[in-house]
């Protein structure tokens, strides 16, 4: 049975030779997309609570949602396929810096996490690295697949964060950008779930070639 499956596996012609896509490759893509979906849903729920609830009691709920978002993003960053290994490591390092910063802020400040970040924009010098890593995913998807929503997201995220950090955006603009971010992130995650798997794996011959250059 296994021999028959292997013999029927489709062979792809890559830039540096032929390759096949294994079940492990497909599982990695599914995990990557699942992480994106969980992150997008967590972010959208948190955003909805912020924008549409006037009760301060919902603010503490943002913390576990942000934790879920961050962990799911970390899973996606672990399984994403990026040809440039250095860039992949940089995005993972950004995520780690953001996670550590968020942990410190969340556990050593008396205010709820969301209130601290909003009222003290300088915290974005640490927490913002998490969103820089996410923006890296948006940029990669925009570059590789020309997705319109990721092109917008690549611009929206730094605009909102830098605008809040510098205090130059009116509250209405910040709310609009945050809402647009949440909606487009969901659109992106849903479209990824419906996309064929092989394009997310990419040209495996390139990975083999790059690995051989290091040895």
Q: What is the pLDDT along the chain (215 residues), one digit of tens a residue?
A: 343 443 356 776 656 656 677 888 889 999 999 999 999 999 999 999 999 887 666 778 899 999 999 999 999 999 998 888 899 999 999 999 999 999 999 888 888 888 899 999 999 999 999 999 999 999 999 998 999 999 999 999 999 999 999 999 999 999 999 999 999 999 999 999 999 988 888 766 666 555 566 65
How far is 126 from 161, CA to CA, in rounded Å? 12
**Residue listed under structure tokens 């012609």:** 13
Instruction: Outline where 53-170 has alpha helix (H).
Output: 62-79, 85-108, 113-119, 124-145, 148-166
User: What DSSP element (H or E) covers 50?
Assistant: helix 23-52
State the DSSP code for 83.
Answer: S
What is the number of other CB atoms lying within 10 angstroms of the CB of residue 177?
Answer: 19
């Amino acid at each position: 049975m296994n021999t028959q499956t292997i013999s029927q596996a489709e062979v792809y012609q890559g830039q540096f030779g032929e390759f096949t896509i294994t079940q492990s490759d497909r599982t990695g893509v599914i995990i990557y997309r699942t992480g994106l979906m969980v992150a997008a849903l967590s972010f959208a729920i948190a955003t909805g609570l912020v924008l549409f609830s006037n009760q301060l009691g919902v603010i503490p709920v943002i913390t576990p949602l942000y934790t879920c978002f961050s962990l799911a993003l970390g899973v996606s960053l672990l399984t994403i396929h990026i040809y440039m290994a250095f860039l992949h490591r940089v995005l993972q390092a950004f995520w780690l810096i953001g996670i550590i910063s968020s942990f410190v802020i969340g556990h050593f400040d008396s205010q709820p996490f969301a209130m601290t970040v909003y009222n003290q924009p300088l915290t974005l010098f640490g927490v913002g690295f998490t969103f820089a890593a996410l923006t890296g995913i948006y940029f990669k998807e925009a570059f590789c697949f020309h997705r319109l929503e990721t092109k917008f997201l690549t611009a929206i995220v730094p605009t909102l964060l830098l605008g809040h950090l510098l205090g130059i955006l009116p509250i209405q603009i910040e709310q609009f950008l945050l809402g647009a971010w949440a909606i487009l992130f969901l659109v992106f995650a849903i479209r990824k779930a419906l996309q064929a798997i092989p394009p997310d794996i990419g040209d495996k011959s390139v990975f083999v070639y790059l690995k051989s250059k290091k040895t």
